[in-house]
Amino acid sequence: MDRNAIISGSFWLCTAIAVLFASLRLGLGPYNNPGPGFLAFWSGLLLAGLSGALLWSGVHSKSKTARLIDLWQDRKGSIPLTAASTLVLYGLVLPKLGYLAATCGLMVILFSVGKIKLPMAIPGALLASLFTFVLFDWFLKMPLPRGIFGF
Amino acid sequence: MDIFINNFNGLINGFSVVFQPDQLLFIFIGCFLGTLVGVLPGIGPVGAISILLPITFQMSPTGAIVMLAGVYYGVMYGGSTASILVNVPGEAASVVTCLDGYQMARQGRAGPALGIAAIGSFLAGTVGLIGLQLIATPLANVALEFGPPEYFAIILVGFTFIIYLTRGSLIKAGIMACAGLILSQVGLDPITSEQRMTFGILNLFEGIGVAPLAMGLFGVAEVFTNLETLHNGEQIRVKIRTLIPSRWDWVRARWAMLRGTLVGFFMGILPGGGPVLSTFIAYGLEKRIAQNPERLGKGAIEGVASPEAANNAAASTSFIPLMTLGIPPNVVLAVLFGAFLIHGITPGPLMLKENPDMFWGIICSMYVGNVMLLVLNLPMIPLWVQVLKIPGRILYPLILLFCVIGAYGINNSVFDVYVMIVFGMAGYLFRKFGYEGAPLILAFVLGPLFEVNLRRSLLMSGGSFAIFFTHPIALGAIIIAAALVLLSVYQMYRKRYANRNQIF
């Protein structure tokens, strides 16, 4: 049994069912005037069939990489998770704190995740934030969010 | 004869566009950044073009596309440098170059390997461009006769090619293509303008943006994957004495270069083909026809010349289906297709008539870019060697920062940053579970065209699917698609019986 195939197959099957319901609500329309849900319905149906085939193969597989944890063997799976969480947090604080402060914080965390010591990470983060602010906001006229500090 | 006269006039027009100081600067920036991205392992042409896309908003449409195209073929040049010097492919189309290129470097022949890679890339890229220029005009004229059934059928062939040429599981590739197709339908219905799967979120009314999706799926996911195995960059101790290949090298490489060029030329045109696949086919061909195949993989110059020629020829010819039919044949061109649309240009058969300056400008910019890359890249190899020494723990956070800025800059909206993060995590998990991102993004880009042409065809025929079988071009395309599906199923079953438990 390949649990990874079963997990991903189940996810896609649930997605396919949700898409099928959504497409029925949108309306399939007649063949001579297909409605907004027409293609979504058929692609959802195909997705359901393919995910069913994946589930079937997962159940009948004798694969050795059968556990979810095997995917992260000898790897630091927590680092991408930390980076992603930091990015989500960054997205939340960016409009409030403004580009410079929020980006500086983001870069300090990202550099620290890469085991760069704080005395190096802080000036590095400051430099990266300032450089990108000058490049994008001043030179390329991309209005970066200002926040409560005004920069 | 008319074709040659039109081509000549077009080239004159194109070069007059390109030989403006600002356009030359954009070509140079594109080629430089492309080479840089190609040299740096981790971020490929898709991520790079997606990240740079918002920067081009201030530019003229021609300048923007010329620069982004420069990034694309610049990556093909740069990718070989990292492959040869440190055995780390800068991007997927340079994986094969590692096999013989790195062995040559270990034997103290890094210079001739880099030299033949650059010269082969230049020659093949130029041949590809001549083909692009000769084929594009007649094909665009033929494509003007295409109606919705023809377009639907050709896109269907594209979908089946994507799945047929996938390197991993057929089922997983199909799932990704379906997911891309479903995601492409988020937003307002193209015919009735009804809301579809928007959950009432205003930012989704215009659909999911191709740039944040591509940046997440390729750029951010790549960084997340690399963050798991942070390494401090390889210390390079390669001495380069001369970049000029010897006479004996030339004798061995010339036919390999030609074969690579031909393979790349045709693989670039095929939907689902492109530079990556062409390198594998070109290398396989060299192994098959070599008098001493055991030399390949041990530092044979043919093993560098052929794949490098193939990926550059394919990079040039992949513009043919995009600019004449409006169908992106591979994932990089799919993102570039998005860039065209953002700048108000619809690639396709009408592009030559409506935007001849841009059409010929792009072709001519690639001629100029190829020369720039050849002249600038060889002297800049010491700089690229220094770039390769940047540790991943510094590089990857900076790439993430550029991704964030790139996503934000599209609409000056944090929502796009969220979209990028969501698809970054999704892309990371897809890689873990063995799913390829390419079928998803191609289906996502082709999805709206596919849907509109399917629905219009059915409207035209009063609901009869026979319309796809009564139009000769559509019928031909559907037969090809059916043959590809049958061939894929046959290969899957053959593999299944050969290796019972490893089909999926």
Q: Evaluate whether residue B237 is within a structural domain.
A: no
The minimal CB distance from A114 to the residues B171, B397, B461 is found for B397
Burial of A141 (0-12, 13-18, 19+ CB in 10 A): exposed
> Inter-chain contact B225–A44, Cβ cutoff 8 Å?
no
DSSP B234: P
Asked if B391 and B469 sit in the same domain, the reply is no
Model confidence at A75, pLDDT cuts 50, 70, 90, reads low
Q: How many CA atoms lie within 13 A of B137 on its CB side?
A: 18
Question: How many Å separate Cα A95 from the centre of its chain?
Answer: 20
The minimal CB distance from B178 to the residues A31, A47, A77 is found for A47
Interface contact B424, partner A, CB < 8 A: yes
The pLDDT value given to residue B503 = 44
> Inter-chain contact B412–A71, Cβ cutoff 8 Å?
no
The minimal CB distance from B58 to the residues A19, A140, A144 is found for A140
Interface contact B383, partner A, CB < 8 A: no
The two tokens of residue B286 are: 């060299």
Interface contact B200, partner A, CB < 8 A: no
Of the candidates B433, B448, B446, B415, the one whose C-alpha atom is nearest the C-alpha of residue B216 is B415
The continuous run of DSSP H or E covering B196 comes out as strand B195-196
Q: Evaluate whether residue B479 is within a structural domain.
A: yes
Q: Is-contact B433 A4, C-beta < 8 A? A: yes
Q: How many CB atoms lie within 10 A of CB B240?
A: 19
Which residues in chain B (94-113) have CB-CB distances under 8 A to chain A? none
Interface contact A10, partner B, CB < 8 A: no
d(CA B451, CA B458): 11
Burial of A63 (0-12, 13-18, 19+ CB in 10 A): middle
Residues of chain B with C-beta less than 8 angstroms from the C-beta of A87: 400, 404, 417, 421, 424
Q: Evaluate whether residue B236 is within a structural domain.
A: no
Asked if B82 and B191 sit in the same domain, the reply is yes
Q: Note the pTM of the prediction, 2 decimals.
A: 0.79
The pLDDT value given to residue B43 = 66
The minimal CB distance from A84 to the residues B396, B424, B451 is found for B424
Give counts: helices (H), strands (E), chain B: 23, 2
Smallest CA–CA distance, residue A61 to chain B, in Å, is 6
Q: Above 80 in pLDDT, residue A54?
A: yes
The two tokens of residue A52 are: 């069913």
Q: Is-contact B329 B44, C-beta < 8 A? A: no
Q: How many CB atoms lie within 10 A of CB B462?
A: 11
Average pLDDT over residues A108-132: 89
The two tokens of residue B297 are: 């993989």
Q: Evaluate whether residue B277 is within a structural domain.
A: yes
Q: Is-contact B260 B120, C-beta < 8 A? A: yes
Query: Could you tell me which residues come within 8 angstroms of residue B375 by beta carbon, excluding any fewer than 6 positions away?
Result: none
Burial of B177 (0-12, 13-18, 19+ CB in 10 A): buried
Question: What is the per-residue pLDDT across A86-101, written as a single tens digit (0 to 9) for each?
Answer: 888 998 898 888 899 9
Asked if B359 and B497 sit in the same domain, the reply is no
Residues of chain B with C-beta less than 8 angstroms from the C-beta of A19: 182, 197
Domain tally, chain B: 2
Of the candidates B47, B1, B65, B55, the one whose C-alpha atom is nearest the C-alpha of residue B343 is B65
Q: Evaluate whether residue B325 is within a structural domain.
A: yes
Asked if B93 and B208 sit in the same domain, the reply is yes
> Inter-chain contact A22–B197, Cβ cutoff 8 Å?
yes
Residues of chain A with C-beta less than 8 angstroms from the C-beta of B409: 136, 142
> Inter-chain contact B181–A12, Cβ cutoff 8 Å?
no
> Inter-chain contact A53–B458, Cβ cutoff 8 Å?
no
Of the candidates B300, B293, B310, B294, the one whose C-alpha atom is nearest the C-alpha of residue B253 is B300
Asked if B451 and B469 sit in the same domain, the reply is no
Query: Could you tell me which residues come within 8 angstroms of residue B193 by beta carbon, excluding any fewer than 6 positions away?
Result: none
Which residues in chain B (157-186) have CB-CB distances under 8 A to chain A? 171-172, 174-175, 178-179, 181-182, 185
The minimal CB distance from A50 to the residues B175, B405, B412 is found for B175
Asked if B459 and B473 sit in the same domain, the reply is no
Residues of chain B with C-beta less than 8 angstroms from the C-beta of A15: 179, 182
Asked if B470 and B453 sit in the same domain, the reply is no
Angle of the B247-269 helix axis to the B302-317 helix axis, nearest 10: 30
Q: Evaluate whether residue B377 is within a structural domain.
A: yes
The two tokens of residue A78 are: 């927590």
Asked if B487 and B457 sit in the same domain, the reply is no
DSSP B41: T
Which residues in chain B (484-503) have CB-CB distances under 8 A to chain A? 501-503
Q: How many CB atoms lie within 10 A of CB B257?
A: 28
Q: What is the ipTM of this complex?
A: 0.90
Asked if B293 and B421 sit in the same domain, the reply is yes
> Inter-chain contact A15–B179, Cβ cutoff 8 Å?
yes
The pLDDT value given to residue A71 = 63
The pLDDT value given to residue B133 = 83
Kindly identify which residue of chain A lies nearest to residue B188, measuring between CA atoms. Answer: A36
Question: B187 forms bridges with which residues in the sheet?
Answer: B196
Q: What Cα–Cα distance (Å) separates residue B322 from each residue in B48, B147, B262, B328, B390?
A: 19, 17, 20, 5, 36
**B74 conformational bin, left if phi > 0, alpha if psi -120 to 50, beta if neither:** alpha
d(CA B413, CA B420): 12
The continuous run of DSSP H or E covering B12 comes out as helix B2-18
Question: B188 forms bridges with which residues in the sheet?
Answer: B195
Question: B195 forms bridges with which residues in the sheet?
Answer: B188
| Most distant pair of Cα atoms in chain B: their distance | 71
Which of A23, A82, A110, A137 is the mutation pick for testing B, counting most B CBs within 10 A? A110
Smallest CA–CA distance, residue A37 to chain B, in Å, is 8
- In this structure, the strands spanning B187-188 and B195-196 are antiparallel
d(CA A26, CA A36): 6
Burial of A115 (0-12, 13-18, 19+ CB in 10 A): exposed
Residues in chain B: 504
Q: Is-contact B207 B200, C-beta < 8 A? A: no
Where do we find the tokens 């084929």? Answer: B135
- Strands (E) across B25-184 are located at none
Which residues in chain B (130-159) have CB-CB distances under 8 A to chain A? none
The pLDDT value given to residue A76 = 67
Q: Evaluate whether residue B357 is within a structural domain.
A: yes
The pLDDT value given to residue B42 = 60
Asked if B442 and B500 sit in the same domain, the reply is no
What domain range includes position B404?
Answer: 2-145+155-231+242-463
Burial B92-103 (b: 16+ CB within 10 A, else e): bbbbbbbbbbbb
The minimal CB distance from A54 to the residues B171, B397, B424 is found for B171
> pLDDT of chain B along its 504 residues, tens only?
677 777 788 888 889 988 999 999 999 999 998 888 888 766 678 778 877 887 787 788 899 999 999 998 888 888 888 788 877 666 777 778 888 888 888 888 888 888 888 888 889 989 888 888 888 888 877 777 788 898 888 888 878 877 776 667 888 989 999 999 999 999 998 888 888 988 888 888 888 888 788 888 877 888 888 887 765 444 455 666 677 788 888 888 889 999 999 988 888 887 666 787 788 788 888 887 888 878 888 888 999 999 999 988 988 888 888 888 888 887 788 888 888 888 888 888 888 888 888 888 998 999 999 899 888 777 887 787 777 777 878 888 888 888 888 788 777 888 888 999 999 999 999 988 888 887 888 788 888 888 999 999 999 888 888 898 998 888 988 998 888 888 877 877 777 677 655 444
Which of A3, A21, A87 is the mutation pick for testing B, counting most B CBs within 10 A? A87
> Inter-chain contact B181–A50, Cβ cutoff 8 Å?
no
Asked if B396 and B486 sit in the same domain, the reply is no
DSSP B292: S
Where do we find the tokens 């003007």? Answer: B144
Q: Is-contact B59 B71, C-beta < 8 A? A: no
Question: B196 forms bridges with which residues in the sheet?
Answer: B187
Asked if B445 and B472 sit in the same domain, the reply is no
- Count contacts between A and B (CB, < 8 Å): 181
Q: How many CB atoms lie within 10 A of CB B41?
A: 23
Q: Evaluate whether residue B443 is within a structural domain.
A: yes
The pLDDT value given to residue B232 = 45
